[in-house]
Amino acid sequence: MPKKIPAETDVRILEEVGRHAEGIGMDSLHARVEDAISRRSLQRRLMGFVAEGRLVREGKQRGVRYRAVTSSGEGAPVPLGGVAEEGYIPISAAGKEIRDHVRRERRIRTPVSYNQSFLEAYYPNETFYLPAELRSQLHTIGTPPDTARPAGTFARDILSRLLIDLSWASSRLEGNTYSRLDTERLIEFGQAAEGKDSLETQMILNHKGAIELLVNEVDLVDFTPYTIFSLHALLSDGLLADRSAGGRIRKRPVEIGGSVYLPIALPQRLDELFRIILSMAQEIRDPFEQSFFVMVHLPYLQPFEDVNKRVSRLAANIPFIRRNLCPLSFVDVPERAYIDGMLGVYELNRIELLRDVFVWAYERSCQHYLAVRRELAPPDTFRLRYRRTLSETIKAIILQRQAPTQKAVMAAITAKVPEEDCDKFVKLVLEEFENLHEGNAIRFGIRPPEFTAWQKKVR
């Protein structure tokens, strides 16, 4: 993973910007901090600060300037000494108490192990992490006007945006330095960003595959071991030292960096609790409570060698996708706030700060995607009708290493297509082949080695 920028460097950057009420350009700013950070790294940090709402970016190209943001949201100098809290989210009194605790030095925090009573104290549909008034508020803002449609329709309507946003935002919470524009180019055109670690590229593509699973296989996806194992297998592909560890309960102990929490080490107990958590999640009737419950208890258990939080963030979207609610993309969520919230769960078994993050993030997602959807053209109903047959046909041609001709398409059709739709379906398949490349072939369940072998044979 890329080297983390020290917190004191971030503070220095923000303080320097805060000294210039009229804003400061990239060249001038770098000249003042070049002893602490490279130009490329400074560009990434500035983009991150803008995304988090800590800085305002004005102007275009070489005229771009950065200004500080006050707590009111308006660009203005940031008072020295108040920089550290800029870019956080509004939090409750209980959330502040948790944040203050987990920010104490690690050496003075008491080590703790997994507390099974934390899970045992929860009774689905009787215990609620989200109060009734809050659940009602989330239902109101997250429900689009036309919910009486097949499961997954809302997510498919905005899929191209969701793939980019959720892949980028979730990866960013893991320290990935891809920008949103880099992510868009990778997902839409298969162009890996220059100067990035290959593992960062892999992480983005893994998110893409996992999100497509949730949306395209909505009828099969649920809080079952199969679904969660599948999510982990896709999200961890190529990122684990032990390749066989993907999609299964871990067999070795793990530690949480920066935390005094010690997860369970015994595989048999992990497997038992993992299945209990999923069984409880299935019982929860409210989709928002269900989503947040999974965001709390999957990472707390740490059932996998790595990638646990990523699995929980995508799994948290299962009830939203299934019920045509606005999805949760985590765009603009400050990494520090999310980490503090998780540490509160790990070390204190308290959910208030993570709940603050969850609610803020969901409201942000709703504002974004409901606006996006209003701008979209009506969906291609023909493509939706033959979505599964389209994928199966394209994959069959790839695996048989055939050239995409009309004859090959007709021979590869895996399900009955009415005669009156055949010509249009063949045309659709051929159009998909024209735009097919290794960066988007995963949409049809085609792995990179399969695509490469076909490409060498046919092209």
Last residue of a domain, one of 18, 50, 85: 85
For residues 306 and 335, the answer to whether their CB atoms sit within 8 Å is no
Of 32-46, 306-320, 326-340, least confident by mean pLDDT is 32-46
Where is pLDDT greater, at 445 or 350?
350
Above 70 in pLDDT, residue 123?
Answer: yes
Within this chain, do residues 17 and 151 fall inside the same structural domain, yes or no?
no
Within this chain, do residues 51 and 159 fall inside the same structural domain, yes or no?
no
For residues 342 and 258, the answer to whether their CB atoms sit within 8 Å is no
Compute φ and ψ for 55, nearest 5 degrees.
Answer: -135, 155
pLDDT, position 375:
52
pLDDT, position 75:
40
Whether 405 is covered by a domain: the verdict is yes
Last residue of a domain, one of 322, 348, 375: 375
Above 50 in pLDDT, residue 67?
Answer: yes
User: What is the reported pTM?
Assistant: 0.65
Within this chain, do residues 266 and 368 fall inside the same structural domain, yes or no?
yes
Above 50 in pLDDT, residue 290?
Answer: yes
Mean pLDDT of 284-311: 97
Per residue in 337-390, pLDDT (tens digit) is 999 999 999 999 999 999 999 999 999 998 877 666 555 445 567 877 888 888
Whether 394 is covered by a domain: the verdict is yes
> 12 falls in which pLDDT band (50, 70, 90)?
confident
Residue type (1 letter), 326: C
pLDDT, position 373:
55
Residues 6+ apart with CB under 8 A from 266: none
> 69 falls in which pLDDT band (50, 70, 90)?
low
Above 60 in pLDDT, residue 74?
Answer: no
Per residue in 254-267, pLDDT (tens digit) is 999 889 999 999 99
Within this chain, do residues 220 and 309 fall inside the same structural domain, yes or no?
yes
Within this chain, do residues 194 and 169 fall inside the same structural domain, yes or no?
yes
The per-residue DSSP string of 156-178 comes to HHTHHHHHHHHHHHHHHTTT---
Q: Give the integer Cα–Cα distance in Å for 122 and 308.
A: 21
Within this chain, do residues 231 and 113 fall inside the same structural domain, yes or no?
yes
pLDDT, position 379:
52
Mean pLDDT of 65-78: 52
pLDDT, position 245:
93
Last residue of a domain, one of 375, 400, 429: 375
Q: Give the integer Cα–Cα distance in Å for 171 and 204.
A: 7
Within this chain, do residues 392 and 314 fall inside the same structural domain, yes or no?
no
Provide the β-strand partners of residue 24. 66
Whether 2 is covered by a domain: the verdict is no
Above 70 in pLDDT, residue 39?
Answer: yes
pLDDT, position 71:
36
pLDDT, position 222:
95
Within this chain, do residues 400 and 340 fall inside the same structural domain, yes or no?
no
> 149 falls in which pLDDT band (50, 70, 90)?
low
Largest interatomic CA distance in the chain:
73
Above 90 in pLDDT, residue 459?
Answer: no
Please give the tally of structural domains in the chain: 3
Instruction: Give which of 139, 169, 124, 90 is closest to 297, Cα–Cα.
Output: 124
Per residue in 349-360, pLDDT (tens digit) is 999 999 999 999
Whether 275 is covered by a domain: the verdict is yes
- Its domain, for residue 183, covers 93-375
Above 80 in pLDDT, residue 243?
Answer: yes
| SS3 call for 257 | coil
Above 50 in pLDDT, residue 395?
Answer: yes
Instruction: Give which of 386, 399, 401 is closest to 431, Cα–Cα.
Output: 386
| SS3 call for 63 | helix
Whether 46 is covered by a domain: the verdict is yes
> 70 falls in which pLDDT band (50, 70, 90)?
very low
Residue linked to tokens 């982990």: 232
Where is pLDDT greater, at 143 or 374?
143
Whether 214 is covered by a domain: the verdict is yes
Within this chain, do residues 351 and 399 fall inside the same structural domain, yes or no?
no
Residue type (1 letter), 241: A
Q: Give the integer Cα–Cα distance in Å for 361 and 333.
A: 6
Q: What's the CATH code of the domain at 163?
A: 1.10.3290.10
Whether 1 is covered by a domain: the verdict is no
Mean pLDDT of 64-93: 57
Per residue in 316-340, pLDDT (tens digit) is 999 999 988 999 999 989 999 999 9
Per residue in 98-121, pLDDT (tens digit) is 999 999 998 999 999 999 999 999
Most confident of 2-16, 294-308, 358-372, 421-435: 294-308
Within this chain, do residues 371 and 394 fall inside the same structural domain, yes or no?
no
Whether 78 is covered by a domain: the verdict is yes
E-strand spans in 168-249? Answer: none
> 25 falls in which pLDDT band (50, 70, 90)?
confident
Using a pLDDT cut of 90, give the percent of the chain over it.
Answer: 51
pLDDT, position 434:
87
Within this chain, do residues 150 and 66 fall inside the same structural domain, yes or no?
no
pLDDT, position 5:
59
Within this chain, do residues 70 and 110 fall inside the same structural domain, yes or no?
no
Residues 6+ apart with CB under 8 A from 445: 391, 395
Instruction: Give which of 48, 59, 60 is closest to 86, Cα–Cα.
Output: 48
Lookup: tokens for 405: 């001709």
Of 234-248, 276-290, 371-385, least confident by mean pLDDT is 371-385
